[in-house]
Amino acid sequence: MQLWNTLNKEELEAKWRESGYKFVTISFYTYAHIANPRLFRDHLFQQWSNIDVVGRTYVAKEGINAQIAVPLHHLDQFREELYQIEFLNGVRLNIAVDDSEAEFPFLKLKIKVRDKILADGLNDETFDVTNKGIHLNAEEFNQLTDDPNTILIDFRNHYESEVGHFKGAILPDVDTFRESLPFIEDEYLKGNEEKNVVMYCTGGIRCEKASAWFRHRGFKNVHQLEGGIIKYANDCKQKGIKNKFIGKNFVFDERRGERISEDIIAVCHQCGSPADTHANCANDACHLLFIQCDACKAKFENCCSTDCQSVIHLSAEEQKALRKGKEVSNKIFKKGRSEKLQFQVNKEKPLSLVESNKEHLA
C-alpha cells in the first residue's frame, strides 16, 4: 500500500466535497517508549487511510502527538482500533470545541517521524518526562487560580495568547516552546518556589513536558490544566462550570481558531480595529500569519501589505521568478512579527512587557 498522499490541494478539496463527509476534529498525545517509530508510523498510516482520516501527526521514540480529523461515520471504528494499541488504550481524545470555521480542518494525512514529538531543546538524559505535575480538572483549575498564592502561566506562543487566554494569566512573549522553558524559569519561577504554579496550553502536550521539566528542576507545587483549553472549554459547557477563558483558542489546523467566549481581545494588525481572525498572506512568497479584519481582507485581497498585494497580480511565472533562490521560511514563521504590520503587538520583545507580566507575581 502507498504510504503517502499524491493528490494536490485542488484534487483533495474536490474529493472531500464530493464525499459529503462530516469531519470531527480530534487531538491527542501521549508520552511513551516507542521502539520503532518508523514501523509504527507506517502502521498508523495504513490503518487511518482505510477510514479517510486526515490531519497531522508526529511520532517519535518518546511518544505520539496528533491533530487529525475523522469522518463522523468512522469515529467508533477509529476509537476502537486506536484503543487496541496498548499504550494508547484509553488515551484522552480532545474533541474540537467549534468545527464551524473551516470547511475542511485538514485536507490530507501526514504522519512524520521526528526525534521528539515536541521540540524542547533539552539534552538531559536524567530527565523523566513521565514525572509530570498534578493534573487539574476545570473545577480544580478555577479554584486554584483563585488562590492569591498561585502563578498562572500561559505556555503557548505569543500569537496564540494574543487572541485568547485565561484571565489573570502571565503571557510570556515567546515564539517557541523550547524558548519558553528557560525564559519562564528565569523570569517568573525563580524566587517563587513556594507558590503554586499552574500552567495551561491548547491540548496539554506542552504543559505535560513543561511540568515534568520544572519538577525535575526542583519546583514542587507544579500543576497543569488537564486536556488544556480544549477539554476545559468542553467541560465548562457540558457541566455548567464558570468559564474563565476569554477570546479565541488558537488551533493548528485550517480553522486557526475556535471561539471560547464572545470577547474579541485582539486587533487587526493592519488597521487596529477589533479582530481575532488569523490569516496567512495570499502571496506564496510571504505566507505570513497575522490577524486581519474583514474590511482589510477585502482591501488587501488577503495579503499582509500592498507589496504582497501587487505580487499576487503577477503571472504565475513572474511570481515563481521572484521566489527563486530566496529562503522565506524564517519570514513565514514570524507569526505576526513583521515590520509591515502597523498594529501588531509584538514587533520586538520589550522589557516593559516582561515587567508588566511580572506584576502578576507581586
**pLDDT tens-digit map of 218-233:** 998 999 999 999 999 9
pLDDT: which is higher, 234 or 7: 234
Asked if 145 and 286 sit in the same domain, the reply is no
Pair 152, 135: CB distance under 8 Å: no
Asked if 325 and 353 sit in the same domain, the reply is no
Averaged pLDDT, 255-277 = 94
Asked if 139 and 238 sit in the same domain, the reply is yes
Torsion of CA 83, 228, 125, 110, to 10 degrees: 60
Residue 269 lies in a domain: no
Residue 36 lies in a domain: yes
pTM above 0.85, yes or no: no
Residue 200 lies in a domain: yes
DSSP single-letter state for residue 105 = S
Number of domains in the chain: 3
Asked if 100 and 150 sit in the same domain, the reply is no
Q: Which H or E run contains 354? A: helix 351-358
Residue 123 lies in a domain: no
Asked if 92 and 153 sit in the same domain, the reply is no
**pLDDT tens-digit map of 59-110:** 999 899 999 999 999 999 999 999 999 999 999 998 887 665 556 778 899 9
C-alpha cell at 235: 467541560
- The per-residue pLDDT for 326 is 63
Asked if 48 and 109 sit in the same domain, the reply is yes
CATH of the domain at 177: 3.40.250.10
Residue-wise DSSP of 174-226: -SSHHHHHHHHIIIIITT-TTSEEEEE-SSSHHHHHHHHHHHHTT--SEEEET
Average of per-residue pLDDT values in the chain: 88
Query: 362: exposed, middle or buried (C-beta count within 10 Å: 0-12, 13-18, 19+)?
Result: exposed
Residue 290 lies in a domain: yes
317 has pLDDT over 80: yes
**pLDDT tens-digit map of 168-202:** 999 999 988 999 999 999 999 998 888 999 999 99
Asked if 285 and 210 sit in the same domain, the reply is no
Domain that holds residue 232: 134-242+348-361
Asked if 218 and 71 sit in the same domain, the reply is no
C-alpha cell at 351: 522589557
Enzyme catalytic residues? 201
Residue 304 lies in a domain: yes
The strand pair at 289-291 and 278-280 is best described as antiparallel
Asked if 141 and 42 sit in the same domain, the reply is no
Averaged pLDDT, 352-360 = 40
Residue 147 lies in a domain: yes
Residue 129 lies in a domain: no
Asked if 313 and 165 sit in the same domain, the reply is no
Asked if 356 and 225 sit in the same domain, the reply is yes
Asked if 184 and 233 sit in the same domain, the reply is yes
CATH of the domain at 70: 3.30.70.100
pLDDT: which is higher, 199 or 284: 199
